[in-house]
Structure 1
Amino acid sequence: MDLNLYQYLLLGVLGIAAGIVNMMAGGGSNLILPVLMMFGVPADIANGSNRVGVLLQSVSGLSGFRKAGKLPTEDLTAILWPTLIGGLCGALVASFAPVAVLKPMLLITMLSVAAFTFFKPSALVHQPGVLPVKVADNPKSRIALWLVGLYGGFVQAGAGFVMLPVLAGMLRYDLVRANALKVFCTLGFTLVSLAIFIWRGQVWWDIGLVLAVGSIIGAKIGVKTAISLKPETLRWILFVMTLVAVLMALWK
């Protein structure tokens, strides 16, 4: 099927919005997936095509965080590998199963994150001087990172919300650096999952590339905004965007 010019323009604008919110908190895919399905794009194609924009916004955002000196590098490999393996498992399941079966899990997960950010702010916004914890020193974090990758590989929507409590809560990174690591991990499992969706013929490149252009622009704006905001402000943005994402998931 072919979209018209206005639909492509709307997707470009949504790509910008998704890039901005994904660099600060998450939930960008919750803006895009319902609209794609409203346009008549099958759920599996929407899920696969959306990954093109996520991939390129992650490259753009990661570059911005790295240039600003906000990307921690000392434990990157240990953080990345569990999410890659989880992403591969999740993408394989998603390529053979309807995305609709995940809706209850999506809602429960995001509501849990909203409650976590509201009732346990100290887990996300730490006092000055708190040092990060290495994955090797917290074995449970490996399982949590694998589950994050599994979820992200299955459906991108809400993956950032799930990842931040692990990176900021369990591994004790401040929210800006946790966001940078989140983008790094997202790039990793998106590469894996996109390869699966391409192999399965579940990517429409016209949609994916339009989303990608908007997402790259949005990511550049989002990184600059995230770096300049206070941690407490970022926490509230995460809380509000989580609730918005829940409403979008209910709507779709």
Structure 2
Amino acid sequence: MFNSIELYQAIVLIVIGLMAGVINTLAGGGSNLSLPALMMTGLPADVANATNRVAVLMQSITASRGFYQHDKIDSASIKDSFLPLFIGGLVGAITASYLNVELLKPLLLGTMIVVSLWVVFKSDTKIEGNDKRKSCYDSKFALLTTFAAGFYGGFIQAGVGFVLIATFVGVLNYDLLRANAMKVVATVIFTSIALLVFIVRDQIAWLPGILLAVGSIVGAQIGVKFAIEVKAKTLKIMVLVMTVFASIAAFIQ
């Protein structure tokens, strides 16, 4: 799918992509900016939801590389959560390709608010290394939660950063910085399969998707640098603040 856009729309998409890249790398909710920007170009909600994954995948790959270079991602964690995230993303994407994503709007709002509070009050930012981290296979609840995060990401994407942070911090006992790092890796996993589903279904508008991706790559690089340098307490506050703004943005759309 390919469509032409105006010059000002192209500029807006690049700028919004940059902002979304920073926000998604630091916490989540960037899609509450990018989805309306895509619909501004005339895309229907389902196509905008699919097209948004182009930028999400590129920013997540960029952020993953940045966190890996700073030794905040290890292969054991990726292998542990890969399968439930992948299968969840596949099922979610197939569901999204047939259903109206607006049906999830109330769930999105509730999820973001609850998760932000969970992260702020549950997370132990003093946890370092692998000593206290859990495997998603340690319990049925952990496995189901990881699968559900993948499903949600494959289905609607918007707000999935908060769901992933809750999974890695609240359920699997990651510290917030490493949870942020694994969050972008998880996004690469389920977005890759989701994007493939949307390509097969011919629901991608490539021009606006690529323009959005250009800005998001730069934004992800900025986000990683900031996340590595900022204090854990500040990062927790930023997650909460971003959640509030993302919830308001989702409500008024």
Per-residue displacement from partner, 1:23-62 (whole Å, max 9, x unpaired)?
Answer: 1111111111122223321001101111000111111111
Question: Alpha carbons of 1:35 and 1:22: their partners in 2 closer, same or farther (altered >3 Å)?
Answer: same
Percent identity of equivalent pairs: 44
Choose from 72, 79, 83 the match for 1:70: 72
- Structure 1 length as normaliser, TM-score? 0.95
Shift of 1:74: 2.0
Mapping for residues 207-222 of structure 1, pairs under 5 Å? 207-222=208-223
Task: Tell me how far apart the structure 1 counterparts of residues 72 and 117 of structure 2 sit (CA, whole Å).
Answer: 27
Per-residue displacement from partner, 1:48-96 (whole Å, max 9, x unpaired)?
Answer: 1110001111111111001111113223212121111110011001001
Unaligned runs of 5+ in 2: none
The letter for the 1-side match of 2:4 is D
Mapping for residues 76-155 of structure 1, pairs under 5 Å? 76-118=78-120, 120=121, 123-128=122-127, 131-155=132-156
Task: Tell me how far apart the structure 1 counterparts of residues 199 and 127 of structure 2 sit (CA, whole Å).
Answer: 44
Unaligned runs of 5+ in 1: none
Per-residue displacement from partner, 1:118-151 (whole Å, max 9, x unpaired)?
Answer: 4x2xx22333556212223344211001000111
Q: Which residue of 2 aligns with 1:12?
A: 14
The letter for the 2-side match of 1:176 is L
Q: Is the contact between residue 83 and residue 188 of structure 1 (CA under 8 Å) also seen in structure 2?
A: yes
Instruction: Give the 3-state SS of the residue equivalent to 1:152 in structure 2.
Output: helix
Choose from 60, 63, 81 the match for 2:62: 60
The letter for the 1-side match of 2:240 is F
Q: Is the contact between residue 75 and residue 135 of structure 1 (CA under 8 Å) also seen in structure 2?
A: no
Q: Which residue of 2 aligns with 1:161?
A: 162
Mapping for residues 170-185 of structure 1, pairs under 5 Å? 170-185=171-186
The letter for the 2-side match of 1:74 is A
The letter for the 2-side match of 1:60 is T
- Structure 2 length as normaliser, TM-score? 0.94
Task: Tell me how far apart the structure 1 counterparts of residues 164 and 61 of structure 2 sit (CA, whole Å).
Answer: 18
Instruction: Give the 3-state SS of the residue equivalent to 2:82 in structure 1.
Output: helix
The letter for the 1-side match of 2:171 is M
Shift of 1:231: 1.0
Range moving further from structure 2, 185-194 or 108-117: 108-117
The letter for the 2-side match of 1:124 is S
Q: Which residue of 2 aligns with 1:231?
A: 232
Q: Which residue of 1 aligns with 2:44?
A: 42
Q: Which residue of 2 aligns with 1:200?
A: 201
Q: Is the contact between residue 126 and residue 175 of structure 2 (CA under 8 Å) also seen in structure 1?
A: no
